[in-house]
Amino acid sequence: MKKENMFSKSKEEISEDILKIAKRVLQERGITGNLDLMNPLNEEGLGLDSIGRLNLLAEIEKETRVELPEECWGSRTFDNLFSIIQFIYESRRITKSEY
């Protein structure tokens, strides 16, 4: 994926990028199936264990260049892909409005 500034992207483009990252991480872990934005990131949802969840969040940070708050990594703040997309989109709006 081309690394470009998330702040110039629409919510739909951010969603597409997050889905691509999630699909790649799941495939690397041998997990296949329907990738739904509302499915929990855990084993009952997308099939990720705690290490897989951390790996996904790290890849999202790396690819999007958006820092996800440390306090959210182990919490339910990012319990599905939609919540991550929403956070990135809201961060984009807040940061943009500060200038």
Domain 8-97 homologous superfamily, CATH: ACP-like (1.10.1200.10)
In the block, tokens 């997308």 appear at 46
What is the value of pTM for the model shown? Answer: 0.82
Q: How far apart are CA 72 and CA 79, in angstroms?
A: 9
At 74-92, the pLDDT tens digits run 767 788 999 999 999 988 7
At 24-67, the pLDDT tens digits run 999 999 998 778 899 998 888 888 898 999 999 999 999 988 88
The set of residues, in sequence order, having a beta carbon less than 8 Å from that of 7 and lying 6+ positions away, is 92, 95, 96
